[in-house]
Amino acid sequence: MQFPSACRRSAAAFAAVTAVILSGASTPAFAAQDPVKYVNLGDSFSAGWGSLAPTAAVNPAFGSPACLHGGPDDVALLDQLQSVALTGDYACAGATVGATTSGIPTIAQQAAKASLDGALNSTTGLVTLTAGGNDVNFGQIIAACAADTSPQATGCQAAAAYGVQLANGVDVAGTVGTIRGYAANAKIAWLGYPRLFATAGESTTVIAGGGVMSAAAAAVFDKGTDQLNAVLAAKARSAGAQFVDVATKFNGHEIGSSGSWFNLGQYTQFNFHPTADGYSKGYYPAMVSAIKPAQLVKG
């Protein structure tokens, strides 16, 4: 009986392998791959704030009420990948890049604590963070825009413009340099912020501005978010870090849309922050797509 040529090759290969095994010779082993060691820093958007509203907890990395975080989020999902091993999560709601008088650990202080704990070092392969929103007084801009009922939202425009001015002064390069000083071999991914409000042109829109502010003010605020992201992106890339845009992942899911991924209601401390869906369906896929953690593993 004649075997097709492909079958003959398979039979020959099987015979060769069998001979090697029977002879006691060793066969080549596949090199094991170690998952990339990962550290998370940042503000409330990195801390999963709102993912389990109305609950929140003290971040055990600091063990102080000055550092609070939420529930399972994009960071936890990233840690579930076989290619990733989270060695420390030091993000705190309210964290800033610059100095703070609130006692909340700054990004630099978070990095220093991670280094002291041995979580952030030369073997770290990935660091993620969101930061900058608190430095430009995000909350105050929301309040100013919500109070502005003028047709052109002139007061909101002034507040947003001042926020962009403050963004230009955020020390992204210094922050990246600080992290790099502890983790010279890590990819540093600076994550952006989503647009908060639906616009009148979106098919899923229920209320432009979500009932929080006028449609005109909401459009101004969203534009300000885009400008903040643009400033942070340019600064991050110039400093040798990667900027991860998340805004497009939230399209159609802003406040005011029928499928919003944001907290808004009685649990006011979590307002304007993503829900569990926002972290798992917005931030997480944006991170995986941009960072490609499987390519960071070490053989």
Q: What is the pLDDT of residues 236-258, one digit of tens each?
A: 999 999 999 999 999 999 999 99
Give ∠ CA 190-196-48 in degrees, rounded to 5. Answer: 50
Q: What phi and psi values does residue 28 have, to the nearest 5 degrees?
A: -65, 140
Q: What is the pLDDT of residue 144?
A: 98
Q: Which residues pair with 243 in a beta bridge?
A: 190
272: number of CA atoms within 13 Å, CB side? 23
The residues facing 130 across adjacent strands are 191
Q: What is the pLDDT of residues 6-59, one digit of tens each?
A: 333 333 333 443 343 334 444 444 445 899 999 999 999 999 999 999 999 999
CA 267 to CA 271: how far, in whole Å?
7
Judge contact between 83 and 36, C-beta under 8 A. Answer: yes
Average pLDDT over residues 204-232: 96
Mean of pLDDT values over 133-155 = 97
* 299 confidence band (pLDDT: 50, 70, 90): low
Helices (H), the chain: 5-23, 74-79, 107-116, 138-147, 154-167, 172-182, 215-238, 276-277, 284-291
Largest Cα separation within the chain, whole Å, is: 90
Mean pLDDT of the chain: 90
Answer yes or no: CATH 3.40.640.10 is held by domain 35-296: no
User: Which of 18-22, 102-106, 137-141 has the least mean pLDDT?
Assistant: 18-22
In the chain, DSSP finds a helix count (H) and a strand count (E) of 9, 7
3 has a pLDDT exceeding 90: no
pLDDT tens digit sequence for 57-66: 999 999 999 9
pLDDT for position 200: 82
Task: Quote the tokens at residue 86.
Answer: 């989270």
According to DSSP, the β-strands at 124-130 and 187-191 are parallel
- Alpha-carbon separation of residue 87 from 35, 79, 96, 121, 180 (angstroms): 11, 9, 22, 10, 16
- In angstroms, what CA-CA distances link 40 with 62, 107, 124, 241, 264? 13, 10, 11, 14, 26
What residue ranges do the domains of the chain occupy?
A: 35-296
